[in-house]
Amino acid sequence: MKKNLTIASPSADSVVDAAGKDTSPSQTVRAQLQLRELVLSGELPAGVRIAELSIVERLGMSRTPIRAALVQLEQEGLLVALAHGGYAVASFSEREIADAIELRGCLEGLLARLAAERGAAPVVMNEARAALREIDELLRRPMLTDETFPIYVDANERFHARLAEMADSDVIARQLERVNRLPFASPSAFVIAQSSSADSRDMLVVAQSQHWQVLDAIDRRESGRAEAIMREHSRIAQRNLRAAVNDHHGHAALEHPPGVQLIRRR
Amino acid sequence: MKKNLTIASPSADSVVDAAGKDTSPSQTVRAQLQLRELVLSGELPAGVRIAELSIVERLGMSRTPIRAALVQLEQEGLLVALAHGGYAVASFSEREIADAIELRGCLEGLLARLAAERGAAPVVMNEARAALREIDELLRRPMLTDETFPIYVDANERFHARLAEMADSDVIARQLERVNRLPFASPSAFVIAQSSSADSRDMLVVAQSQHWQVLDAIDRRESGRAEAIMREHSRIAQRNLRAAVNDHHGHAALEHPPGVQLIRRR
DNA sequence: TAGGACATTGATGTATACAAAATAAGGCTG
DNA sequence: CAGCCTTATTTTGTATACATCAATGTCCTA
């Protein structure tokens, strides 16, 4: 019987963190990341049972870490537990996605309000401003290209992450993270879908205005205003959702954001 | 080597559901419930590592279902993952609990608003009204006793559960459930702590008024009002939290709601 | 005596063997 | 020929053995 099966699978999994040292994630973490990728990329069809063994041979590890990953993804809402054991990929109606976005707006609004009431740490505020200045820079050009778009997405996510820090509330920030892990609910989910759209830049300009305004509101301790802005901010995503779904249903071969096939068409 | 260790532990675990048939939950489910109980009852000290083997011998099952339960409770926020593997019982500052309550208010407010905007199913509305009439009945008496209090708690939780159904949004309801699982965040968590207080009945009268008002608002499709009421409603819990913490710090032998020892004293 | 290196112990992470249950298939009977 | 019961196979649930990593304690040396 062969031992030492712990040797890493040939696929390049070793991760190098910011400090440069090689932090090789545990099998469980790898399983979680790769399985999530498998779900979002649509390789696993929604609704049908996921055979553990098929994942085992696909990811090249034992059942134990894979089961752990299944449990976690079920908790995240990406999988649904089946009646007599096992899991299936979840699918979402257009309204469920809209609800998830509304939920994010609600939570970000709460965080913005608390930040305004409690006062945000200057360091975090500056990091947020730095992210916004990057976006300002990008928006100076008449249109965003395939190279500049990833930069926008990155800066946008950094801004939203800092905003979540400002209220200094781990409990709420944690919940927001959960919501953001739902497909389509995260801040820049539908930005991608709209990248090719003609007036996509205008949408980003509006969003960016709200970004600056909410920082201003937090600075001035105008908590009600801060909350209202973030709520309204999420409604841009609502608009993009509708546009993306229509595009998706129309011409099939459009550039998809990860996870479109999880949308349950009526 | 002895096989068939699957035989259930002597502790009475078999559950009979509403239909009357004996649904014996899986080891994993049992592990989750019992471990949660162990955490909330304070048998496991907060902050120190939970040795898996100690749980194994306590619950009389193998490591596998226990590890699954640990993963789930970590996701719930009751446990924290330690740096180099393993878990510890989480502890909460008074502010974290306050944040959790605020979060619940926010989510219940969102659900109430959506219910008002979309219209709630008449059946659910009637069930909610039925729960409120039970509370009305209880409040007719000058004071609540040890027998009537559990009835109040039950009716109160039923009302809140129905309210969560009214918006017909699984995504949001699910998130609210998660929050309610946090210690002290659930609707009737601090009602218990205040049961002996002299003006506890008055507090319940106020809460009950808000209960009826939110149903009225949903009925009239006044979504903004519905949301505002539920937000304010959660602030009764905030008040009770402060009172309970003071009581707890004062005389130690007071009647505790489950999980007081998870409050991190400064 | 103090500090460091090594060894030992005990923990978790991982793999796999085993058992039970559910599903699918096949045969039998009405 | 259809429906049901029985059987076989596949799949998940559970237990346990093994490996690896961290922490602690001891011994040796400067």
CB-side neighbour CA atoms (13 Å) of B102: 18
Task: Mark residue B219 as left, alpha or beta (left: phi above 0; alpha: psi -120 to 50; beta: remaining).
Answer: alpha
Q: How many CA atoms lie within 13 A of B253 on its CB side?
A: 0
Specify which of A6-10, A208-212, B4-8 reaches the highest per-range mean pLDDT. Answer: A208-212
- Write out chain A residues lying below 8 Å of B75, CB-based: 72, 75
Give me the pLDDT at residue B183, please: 84
- Containing H/E element for A127? helix A122-139
Note the pLDDT of residue A15. 46
Look at residue A160 in the predicted model and tell me its pLDDT. Answer: 98
What is the distance in angstroms measured between the alpha-carbon CA of B27 and the sugar C1' of D13? 9
Beta carbons within 8 Å of B157's beta carbon, 6+ residues apart: B186, B187, B188
Q: What is the mean pLDDT of chain A?
A: 86
Spatial separation of the C-alpha atoms in residues A18 and A27, rounded to whole Å: 21
Amino acid (1-letter code) at residue A155: A
φ, ψ dihedrals at B93, nearest 5°? -75, 160
* Contact (Cβ atoms closer than 8 angstroms) between residue A64 and residue A99: no
Cα separation, B218 vs B222, in Å, equals 6
If you compute the radius of gyration of chain B from its CA atoms, what whole number of angstroms results? 20
pLDDT surpassing 80 at residue B34: yes
Q: Give whole-number Cα distances, A124 to A121, A162, A165, A170, A230, in Å.
A: 5, 6, 7, 15, 17
B8 phi and psi, to 5 degrees?
-60, 150
Say which residue the tokens 């601090």 belong to: B190
Say which residue the tokens 């098929």 belong to.
A54
Reading the block at residue A197, the tokens are: 């759209």
Letter for the amino acid at A162?
R
pLDDT in tens, B198-231: 677 888 999 999 999 999 999 999 999 999 999 9
CA nearest to A208, candidates A110, A138, A111, A108: A138
Task: Provide the pLDDT for residue B256.
Answer: 64
User: In this complex, do A99 and B171 lie within 8 Å of one another by their Cβ atoms?
Assistant: yes
pLDDT tens-digit series, residues A232-265:
999 999 988 888 777 665 554 445 667 778 888 7
User: Does strand D come within 7 Å of the CB of A67?
Assistant: yes
Residue A42 gets the label, from left (phi > 0), alpha (psi -120 to 50) or beta, of left
A67 and B68 in contact by Cβ < 8 A? yes
Of B102-111, B150-159, B248-257, minimum mean pLDDT range: B248-257
- Predicted confidence at residue A8, as pLDDT, reads 32
DSSP conformation class of B188:
T
Which two tokens mark A131?
Answer: 């992210």
Q: Given CB atoms, is B119 within the 8 Å cutoff of chain A?
A: no
Query: Within 13 Å, how many C-alpha atoms sit on residue B8's CB side?
Result: 13
Q: Which residue has the tokens 């996509």?
A: A200
Predicted pLDDT of residue A256: 63
A53 touches strand D (CB under 7 A): yes
Percent of chain B at pLDDT above 70?
Answer: 84
For chain B, the average pLDDT equals 86
Report in angstroms the alpha-carbon separations of A141 from A136, A159, A203: 9, 20, 14
Nearest to A223 by CA among A58, A111, A147, A67: A111
Among B126, B146, B243, B232, which Cα is nearest to B189's? B243
Most confident among A133-147, A186-200, B66-80, B232-246 (mean pLDDT)? B66-80
Chain A residue at shortest CA distance from B110: A106
- For residue B26, give the chain A residue with the closest CA: A85
Coil, helix or strand at residue A15:
strand
Stated in angstroms, how far is B194 CA from D26 C1'?
56
Q: Report chain B residues whose CB lies below 8 A from the CB of A234.
A: none
Average pLDDT over residues A87-92: 95
The verdict on a CB contact (< 8 Å) between A96 and B67 is no
H helix or E strand, kind and range, residue A240: helix A223-250
User: If residue A16 lies in a helix (H) or strand (E), which one and from where to where?
Assistant: strand A15-16
- Number of A/B CB contacts below 8 angstroms equals 64
Q: pLDDT (tens digit, 9 = 90+) per residue, A99-121?
A: 999 999 999 999 999 999 999 99
With 90 as the cut, is the pLDDT of residue A230 above it? Answer: yes
pLDDT over 70 at B250, yes or no: no
Categorize the per-residue pLDDT at B142 as very low, low, confident or very high, splitting at 50, 70 and 90.
confident
pLDDT of residue B161 exceeding 90: yes
Q: Which residue is nearest to nucleotide D11 (CA to C1')?
A: A51
**Would you place residue B195 in the very low, low, confident or very high pLDDT band (cuts 50, 70, 90)?**
low
Domains, in order of start, for chain B: 15-89 (1.10.10.10), 94-262 (1.20.120.530)
- The share of chain B scoring above pLDDT 90, in percent, equals 67
CA-closest candidate to residue B106, choices B235, B18, B254: B235
Indicate whether B4 pLDDT > 50. no
With tokens 């979504």, the residue in question is B223
Lowest mean pLDDT among A1-5, A143-147, B139-143, B215-219: A1-5
Find the largest Cα–Cα distance for chain A. Answer: 68
Which one, of B157, B185, B175, lies nearest residue B78 by Cα? B185
